Amino acid sequence: MTADFRHFYQKSWAERTAIVAEQAQLSTAETALFKQYYLPQHSEIIENYLTDYPLPMGLAVNFVVDDHPYIVPMVTEEPSVIAAASNGAKIVKRAGGFTTKLTKREMVGQIVLEQLADPAKTAEIIMAHQADLLVVADAAHPSLKKRGGGARRLRTRDLGQGYLSIDLFVDVQAAMGANMLNSMLEAVAKSVGVLTKTNALMSILSNYATASLVQATCELPVSLLQAGRYAGKLVAQKIASASTVAQIDPYRAATHNKGIMNGIDALAIATGNDWRALESGIHAYAARDGQYRGVSTWTTDGQTLTGTITLPLPVGIVGGSIKINALAQLNQRILGLQTAPELAKVMVALGLAQNLAALRALVTTGIQQGHMHLQLKSLALAAGATATELPIVLQQLEQAPQQDLATTQHLIKKLRQTKEETDD
Ligand code: NDP
């Protein structure tokens, strides 16, 4: 059966859900899920809205960043992530907490010109009119200047093959700034067109936010790293080696950074920030010298383990969907945030905490030991265990030679049979 999706965007919510139910042959119970998670105001945010998609939200604890304690809301579907963040932060807290540095917070956008016979000459014309073009940029979003932000400078880059990028740097204040910057860029592109007698190929912000870098460091006495039978000094050396491997091997670097993004994305989602924007910028930054590398480094002198992470984090506390996302606003309250840079600082520290916990587990007991209990819990729930059955199924699964779905389903079936027999 093929339902009619023509003019789908013009249909009401009830019509849309009915069409999807017909197309996918959904049961009444399945269709009821649309209603269960439906938030009417969200139909104003995205197109063809059906329903919301819930993800678990929890709190990471133990964070001390620049002498200030934080509890960190995280939205993630992955078990162990919040436990690891809290665990990493706890170790760092014992050594005084994270120290962060944020020197600048500007967004950059590009106006790309093409088919230039003499890019250097065009660049010269642009830079000669920099002051006027910055005025044009500010006029496209005047409220930003009133708030103390606004267009700051231009830069030109000859990209080769006749392409020239005109980069506009803007202080976007408390917002992430994508939309504001795009409006400014389109206005500047018109003036550039008049000045250079060219048509811009495109005008858009760059997610490679190199003017919004934020750094976190921590210095840990090696004694704090002791794990089971592994002495702290040895753990520190192994973490430093793991860090080296993430610098020289992209296969390892990708996983090293994935662990860091477990925290960054979870906080970005919890605060209504655009995590795709952060992902693309961070991975571009990880490959800034031509090779993809870990974004954090760990070194040791035998007494102390020093961790450093630097990330482009152009996050906002206003703008985008934040204003209509009650939970994003609530999470700002939980964090006690005053400014956007403060959010960036907590976020970068979270990335380093996540990384510390992952590396410490990896080079000692292995990642699975910590993960396994939570993974088994997910497995038992996926296999249909009820809240009452869960502890028994988990206990049996831990002893089972195979820990897979079939085994779990078998254990649940046996448990239910035994219960039936006892009830009889
Ligand atoms: P908005 O378009 O929502 O603009 C920011 C809003 O916040 C403005 O309305 C501004 O008001 C208001 N505001 C209130 N207080 C402040 C303050 N102190 N500082 C700054 N602004 C303030 O959001 P952004 O421009 O931040 O754009 C972010 C959105 O853009 C995200 O949803 C993102 O997903 C999306 N996006 C991302 C792209 C990318 O990453 N490549 C591309 C395009 C869009 P006023 O108008 O009075 O200034």
Strands, E, within 102-199: which ranges?
Answer: 107-113, 150-160, 163-171
Residues 292 and 289: their CA atoms lie apart, in Å, by: 8
Q: Can you list the domains of the chain with their CATH numbers?
A: 1-54 (no CATH), 57-103+212-366 (3.90.770.10), 107-205 (3.30.70.420), 370-423 (1.10.8.660)
Q: How far is the CA of 271 from the centre of ligand 1 (A)?
A: 14
Active site annotation includes 279:
no
207 CB near ligand 1 (under 6 Å): yes
Active site annotation includes 42:
no
Comparing CA positions, the residue from 412, 372, 417 lying closest to residue 396 is 412
Across the strands, what pairs with 227? 230
138 CB near ligand 1 (under 6 Å): no
How far does Cα 171 stand from its chain's mean position? 22
109 CB near ligand 1 (under 6 Å): no
| Cβ(360)–Cβ(240) below 8 Å | no
- Long-range pairs for 135-144 at CB < 8 Å and ≥24 separation? 136/187, 136/188, 136/191, 137/168, 137/170, 137/184, 137/185, 137/187, 137/188, 138/184, 139/187, 140/183, 140/184, 140/186, 140/187, 140/188, 141/180, 141/183, 141/184, 144/170, 144/171, 144/172, 144/173, 144/180
280 CB near ligand 1 (under 6 Å): no
**Catalytic residue of the set 22, 66, 78, 389:** 78
| Cβ(252)–Cβ(313) below 8 Å | no
Q: How far is the CA of 309 from the centre of ligand 1 (A)?
A: 27
| Cβ(326)–Cβ(42) below 8 Å | no
Q: Does the pTM of the predicted model rise above 0.85?
A: yes
Residues 194 and 152: their CA atoms lie apart, in Å, by: 21
281 CB near ligand 1 (under 6 Å): no
CA distances from 107 to 165, 277, 403 (A): 15, 12, 48
pLDDT in tens, the chain (424 residues): 688 999 999 999 999 999 999 999 999 999 999 999 999 988 988 999 999 999 999 999 999 999 999 999 999 999 999 999 999 999 999 999 999 999 889 999 999 999 999 999 999 999 999 999 999 999 999 999 999 999 999 999 999 999 999 999 999 999 999 999 999 999 999 999 999 999 999 999 999 999 999 999 999 999 999 998 899 999 999 999 999 999 999 999 999 999 999 999 999 999 999 999 999 999 999 999 999 999 999 999 999 999 999 999 999 999 998 988 999 999 999 999 999 999 999 999 999 999 999 999 999 987 666 667 777 888 898 899 998 999 899 889 888 888 899 999 999 999 999 888 888 7
Residues 412 and 122: their CA atoms lie apart, in Å, by: 72
Residues 155 and 126: their CA atoms lie apart, in Å, by: 9
Pick the atom of ligand 1 nearest to 144's CA.
Answer: 48
Give the residue, by CA position, lying nearest to ligand 1 atom 34. 274
